[in-house]
Amino acid sequence: MKLNILNLVTDEKCYGYLRSVRWEDGVYCPSCQKIDVVKNGLSSHNEFIHRYECKSCGTGFNDLSGTIFSQSNKPLKVWIIALYFLGLNLSNRQIAQELLDFCIRF
Which residues of the chain form contacts with Zn ion (CB under 5 A)?
A: 29, 31-32, 54, 56-57, 59
Q: 30 or 102: whose CB is closer to Zn ion?
A: 30
Min CB(65)–Zn ion separation in Å:
11
Q: 11 or 30: whose CB is closer to Zn ion?
A: 30
Q: 31 or 46: whose CB is closer to Zn ion?
A: 31
Cβ neighbours for 101, distance < 8 A, ≥ 6 positions apart: 2, 4, 6
Min CB(28)–Zn ion separation in Å:
8
Positive or negative, the Cα torsion across 72, 78, 81, 86?
A: negative
What angle, rounded to 10 degrees, do the helices at 76-87 and 11-22 form?
A: 70
